[in-house]
Amino acid sequence: MKKICVTKLFTSSQLLRFTHVREEERTKLLKSLIERSAAGEPCDLSKELEALTSLMIYRMTMGNRSSSLSSSEDYNYSVEAMEMRGLIRNIMECGKKYAVIEVFGPLRRFDLFGNGKRIEKAFLRYDQRLEQIIHEYEENRMNNIIDGENEEKDVMDILLETCRDSSAEVTITKSHIKYFFMEIFMASVDSTSTAMQSAMAELINRPEIFKKLREEINSVVGSNQLVKESDVPNLPYLQAVLKETLRLHPPGPMLRRTATVDSKINGYDIKAGTKMFVNCYAIMRDPNVWKDPEKFMPERFLDCCDRVMDFKGQDFGYLPFGSGRRACFGAPHAAYVIHATVAALVQCFDWKLEDGDKAGIDIVSGYTGAMAHPLVCYPSVHGNLLPSPNPVIECYVYGDSRPWKRLFEGCEEKSLYFFTRLKNKNDEKDKRINRVTDSGTWRAQSDKEVFSYGDQTVLIGFKRSFSFMPKTSGQESRGIWPYG
Ligand code: HEM
């Protein structure tokens, strides 16, 4: 599974393909925070960030099925994502309640506290849901809704493909797939949302760092443009803030290893088979490695040029994502999510805590959830940088000799991801164009459609529905984008 993950599922091109999903979910969060700000209401940022990460990972792993279902009016993928989150959380909660005597030793068959039954039920519910989802994927495939050429295969598509391929180098079964998803949901949601909560807590507590970060974002991105994932490489202070957050508040503070051979570590004899914990939390606060280890000082990551302090675990003093063959393969995905989200929250809002500006926020570390208390705070809009709800996309034709020109106002390239002129203007698909100009509005049913103007024909790729207004004047066409 690890091999499939690093070669197929979480490659950088696969992650880039889902940029629009992460952006859409982030935009929705910002919109809801703007509403809270207008109403003067508090928000539980811990909950919001947990929902955000759940939605992103759900859409990236099972999103293709969702988009085929989304043609039905009452379909709501966020309800499904939250349902999945509930099933996983249930398993995790049941797991936490287990006592040692229930797992090891002669008493375990008596299931003394009923936890055995509870966890069995939780697994069963999850298993049934996954069975149903896999069935829907397979039905979609049979109906050619998701075809082999689909550029946007999600994690489930790729795994089912591998499962069907008897000649694949790694063979997997449906059971593998089900348990793989369980691990992914368990490993990704709490860790990623916790990292963002800790970063926001530290930033709210430290107005000078908050201000410096906002200044960096505005100077690089501009104060009237929303920060994007692609801006992150140019934001060294933002990166330093998140590295420092993960140093002090690692969502995965303990790494586990089993010795495969008899060995000696720091003078201790370790027998093969011994299970060990590597305490990253302590390592990343070790005064022999870090100056003022308890202080939140992002600058330390800007100054240390002789060490490679990244997320790859090459420096054994800094291990937020572990190291070696069992290191976290979700780190690149997490990096996209945490940087751009924290940057947007800093860029768009001022934050106040319930108890006033100076209240402290306790941060504790742990496997699930770093905050001692939910991060309840008041957002106040600093700058509404969201694209207007109905950005206008205008396509102009300047005559036969000139190519079509695209002007996207407040609209990402992802929205129109394929745009080219067709040579054969008599293509039979031209007929569809009449619907656009005659009826005024038109809704794309597939992700590629053809339009023409005059003797020009153009193929446009869609991610979602698209309404077209009638021709306004001459050869000019204007579309309203009801995206998201
Ligand atoms: C800020 C977010 C995250 C942090 C801090 C984090 C941290 C970690 C750590 C410390 C480990 C153990 C590594 C080791 O033993 O060397 C780990 C393993 C793992 N992580 Fe993450 N993780 C994060 C996000 C994610 C995401 C988004 C995913 C999935 C998309 C993910 C999937 C996994 C999996 C499946 C493992 C087990 C790998 C194995 O056993 O080979 N993690 N993570």
Burial class (CB in 10 A: 0-12, 13-18, 19+), 483: buried
Distance in Å, CA 430 to ligand 1 centroid: 50
pLDDT digits (tens, 9 = 90+) for 289-309: 999 999 999 999 997 666 778
pLDDT of residue 111: 73
What does each C-alpha distance from 158 to 155, 257, 393 come to in angstroms? 5, 29, 34
Span from the CA of 329 to the centroid of ligand 1 (angstroms): 6
Rounded distance from Cα 306 to ligand 1 centre (Å)? 26
**What are the structure tokens assigned to 85, written together?**
């989150």
Question: pLDDT tens-digit profile of 414-445?
Answer: 333 223 233 344 443 333 332 232 222 333 34
Distance CA 482, CA 484 (A): 7
Binding residues for heme: 328
pLDDT confidence of residue 417? 29
The pair of structure tokens assigned to 306 is: 């002789």
The residue whose CA is least distant from atom 40 of ligand 1 is 326
Residues of the chain with pLDDT under 70: 65-75, 99-105, 143-152, 304-306, 355-371, 387-484
**Residue 34: per-residue pLDDT:** 92
State the DSSP H helix or E strand holding residue 287, giving kind and residue range, or none if neither: none
Q: Choose which residue among 276, 278, 321 to substitute to test ligand 1 binding: the one with the highest number of ligand atoms within 8 A of its C-beta.
A: 321
Burial of 306 (0-12, 13-18, 19+ CB in 10 A): exposed
Annotated binding site: 328
Catalogue the E-assigned strands of 41-177. Answer: 43-44
Q: Which of 407, 451, 405 lies closest to 430 in space, CA to CA?
A: 451
- Nearest Cα to 43, choosing from 56, 54, 30? 30
Tokens of 235: 């934001």
Cα–Cα dist 463/403, whole Å = 23
SS (H, E, C) 160-199: HHHHHCCCCCCCCCHHHHHHHHHHHHHHHHHHHHHHHHHH
d(CA 384, CA 442): 30
If 0-12 CB within 10 Å is exposed, 13-18 middle and 19+ buried, where does residue 27 land? Answer: middle
6 burial type by CB count under 10 A (0-12 exposed, 13-18 middle, 19+ buried): exposed
The model carries a pTM of: 0.78
Residue 324: its pLDDT value, please? Answer: 92
Q: Which residues line ligand 1 (CB under 6 A)?
A: 2, 183-184, 187-188, 191-192, 195, 251-252, 255, 320-323, 326-328, 330, 333-334, 338
Q: Whose CA is nearest to atom 9 of ligand 1?
A: 321
CA 196 to CA 342: how far, in whole Å? 6
Looking from the CA of residue 194, the nearest atom of ligand 1 is 1
- Rg of the Cα atoms in the chain: 25
Q: Round to whole Å and give the CA distance between 204 and 114.
A: 43
Query: For residue 355, what pLDDT is reported?
Result: 67
Answer for the pair 170, 162: CB distance below 8 angstroms, yes or no: yes
Q: Which of 10, 342, 12 is nearest to 200 (CA)?
A: 342
Closest CA to 42 of 345, 378, 352: 378
CA 141, 153, 462, 466 torsion-angle sign: positive
**How far apart (Å, rounded) are the C-alpha atoms in residues 407 and 136?**
38
The two beta strands, 467-468 and 477-480, are antiparallel
Closest ligand 1 atom, residue 57 Cα: 30
Cβ–Cβ < 8 Å for 363, 46: no
| Distance from the alpha carbon of residue 184 to the mean position of ligand 1, in angstroms | 9
Amino acid at 437: T
Tokens 């003093």 belong to which residue? 317
**Which DSSP symbol is given to 292?**
S
- Which has the closest alpha carbon to 119: 89, 144, 158? 89
Which residues lie closer than 8 Å to 256 by C-beta, 6 or more apart? 275, 276, 277, 278
Pocket test for ligand 1, best of 9, 60, 191 (most atoms within 8 A of CB): 191
